[in-house]
């Protein structure tokens, strides 16, 4: 459904090469997690995918159409949800906002907003304001807003990085519920390997900058998944170790490079 072929991105000006020849695909209704070291180019990759950033090379296609601007079939949730919500609008208004240019009837609009708020467990909070809610609840509002227009793909950039561990696992399960009940494909970037393995059908492991795909790991764990059972499964530990080794490989390369480059006391003396 979503295909990324040989994507390249070099920022103009300083010429930072963020992404090199990245290819992978997302099939309808599946959950793909992208993991990679910080500064690798994950956010850059997502911004290209959403049509928010011009790519330097390669092709992105959604249902056969080239993505050059933000596609209507895609919705995004970013890490900094507190800045993405309008503080002076109620929860309901915030979730309704992106539906406004969709020209739904008033009844359809109310129906969709209600469904989205129920899906994230926020029914009853329609008239609250974002500043009255906890961080985890604000992130739920951001997710409700993204799923209200029922996108084919939900793109998320480290969406749970700034919430506590308990809220984080609740929100992970919320993503699983959304995928299961609405059939939305999810493309989620995280630096948390456990989170990636727990959620994903496949994990795309990226190298350090410029980002290349080190491996795409099929996660063959049964669904429905649950925080206790799935994470206790021996297979879970194997996948986790595999991804960790790939990422460690990246780190070790970096370390040995920095050792090589360290000025030697004896050199030139
Ligand atoms: P990640 O999300 O994996 O941490 P980013 O995609 O944010 O990585 O950044 C990848 C690289 O691109 C970094 O070296 C970063 O400094 C650089 N970069 C990000 N945004 C810009 C920009 N607007 N202009 C120039 N360089 C950028
Ligand atoms: Mg990032």
In a domain, 251, yes or no: no
256 in any annotated domain:
no
Task: Say whether both 13 and 142 belong to one domain.
Answer: no
Query: Residue 44 CA: which ligand 1 atom is closest?
Result: 6
**Tokens coding 31:** 């959950």
Is beta strand 153-157 parallel, antiparallel or unpaired with respect to 74-77?
parallel
For residue 35, the ligand closest to its alpha carbon is 1
**Do 141 and 30 reside in the same domain of the chain?**
no
**Distance from the CA of 78 to the center of ligand 2, in angstroms?**
9
Number of domains making up the chain? 2
Is 113 among the domain residues? yes
The DSSP 8-state label assigned to residue 68 in this structure reads: S
Q: Which ligand 1 atom is at minimum distance from the Cα of 16?
A: 26
Q: How far apart are CA 9 and CA 22, in angstroms?
A: 10
Of 150, 184, 205, which residue constitutes the final position of a domain? 150
- The answer on 204 and 98 residing in a single domain is no
* Helix, strand, or coil (residue 12): coil
What pLDDT is stored for residue 267 in this prediction? Answer: 43
Tokens of 163: 């919430």
pLDDT at 252: 65
C-alpha span between 84 and 81 (Å, rounded): 5
Tokens of 74: 């895609």
216 occurs within a structural domain: yes
End position of a domain, from candidates 97, 117, 150: 150
Q: Which of 39, 50, 79, 159 to mutate to test the pocket of ligand 1 (most atoms within 8 A of CB)?
A: 39
User: Domain check: are 52 and 184 in the same one?
Assistant: yes
**For the domain that residue 159 is a member of, what is the CATH number?**
3.40.50.300
β-strands 213-218, 202-206: how paired? antiparallel
Measured by CA distance, the residue closest to atom 19 of ligand 1 is 44
Residues 66, 96, 138, 223, CA torsion sign: negative
Q: State whether 126 and 102 are in the same domain.
A: yes
Closest-approaching ligand to the CA atom of 78: 2
**Which of 14, 43, 156 to mutate for ligand 1's pocket (most ligand atoms within 8 Å of CB)?**
43
Q: Do 66 and 11 belong to one domain?
A: yes
- Considering the domain architecture, whether residues 230 and 159 belong to the same structural domain is answered as yes
Please give the Cα distance from 36 to 53 (Å, whole number).
20
Same domain as 130, residue 20? no
Quote the ligand 1 centre to 87 CA distance (angstroms).
28
Specify the pLDDT at position 114. 93
Tokens of 235: 């297979």
103 and 69, same structural domain? no
The last residue of a domain, from among 131, 150, 169 = 150
CA distance to 19, 23, 47, 143, 199, per residue, from 121 (Å): 37, 35, 28, 11, 19
Judge whether 105 lies within some domain.
Answer: yes
Residue 265 in domain: no
* Domain match, 125 and 178 both: no
64 and 176 share one domain: yes
Domain range spanning residue 182? 1-73+153-245
Pair 108, 120: CB distance under 8 Å: no
Task: Write out the chain's pLDDT in tens, 269 residues.
Answer: 999 999 999 999 888 999 999 999 999 999 999 999 889 999 999 999 999 999 999 999 999 999 999 898 999 988 776 678 999 999 999 999 988 877 889 999 999 999 989 988 899 999 999 999 998 899 899 999 998 878 999 999 998 887 888 888 988 998 998 899 889 999 999 989 999 999 999 999 999 999 999 999 999 999 999 999 999 999 999 999 999 999 888 666 666 665 555 554 444 43
Give CA–CA dist 106/115, Å, rounded: 14
Is 229 inside a domain boundary?
A: yes
Least Cα distance to 217 among 191, 237, 243 occurs for 243
Q: Which pTM does this prediction carry?
A: 0.90
Query: What is the C-alpha separation between 145 and 135, in angstroms, rounded?
Result: 15
Q: How far is Cα 9 from Cα 45, in angstroms, rounded to an integer?
A: 8
Virtual torsion, Cα 227, 228, 230, 234, nearest 10 deg: 140
For ligand 1, atom 20, the nearest C-alpha belongs to 44
Q: Is residue 268 part of a domain?
A: no
Torsion angle (degrees, nearest 10) of CA 158, 85, 96, 72: -40
Cα(9) to centroid(ligand 1), Å: 10
Near ion ligand 2, which residues have CB within 5 Å?
42-43
Q: In this structure, are 69 and 161 located in the same domain? A: yes
């Amino acid at each position: 459904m979503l295909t990324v072929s040989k994507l390249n991105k070099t920022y103009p000006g300083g010429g930072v090469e963020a992404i090199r020849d990245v290819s992978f695909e997302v099939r309808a209704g599946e959950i793909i997690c992208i993991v990679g070291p910080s500064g690798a180019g994950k956010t850059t990759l997502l911004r290209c995918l959403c049509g928010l950033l011009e790519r330097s090379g390669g092709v992105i296609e959604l249902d056969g159409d080239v993505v050059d601007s933000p596609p209507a079939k895609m919705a995004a949730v970013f890490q900094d949800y507190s800045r993405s919500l309008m503080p002076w609008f109620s929860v309901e208004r915030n979730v309704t906002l992106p539906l406004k240019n969709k020209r739904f009837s008033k009844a359809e609009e109310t129906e969709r907003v209600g469904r989205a708020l129920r899906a994230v467990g926020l029914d009853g909070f329609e008239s609250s304001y974002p500043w009255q809610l906890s961080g985890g609840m604000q992130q739920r509002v951001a997710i409700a807003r993204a799923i209200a227009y029922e996108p084919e793909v939900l793109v998320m950039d480290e969406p749970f990085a700034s919430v506590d561990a308990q809220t984080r696992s609740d929100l992970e399960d919320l993503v699983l519920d959304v995928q299961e009940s609405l059939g939305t494909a999810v493309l989620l970037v995280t630096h948390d390997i456990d989170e990636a393995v727990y959620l994903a059908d496949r994990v795309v492991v990226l190298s350090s900058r410029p980002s290349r795909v080190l491996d795409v790991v099929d996660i063959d764990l049964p669904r429905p998944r649950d925080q206790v059972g799935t994470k206790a499964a021996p297979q879970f530990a194997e996948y986790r170790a595999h991804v960790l080794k790939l990422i460690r490989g990246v780190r070790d390369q970096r370390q040995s490079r920095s050792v090589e480059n360290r000025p030697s006391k004896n050199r030139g003396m």
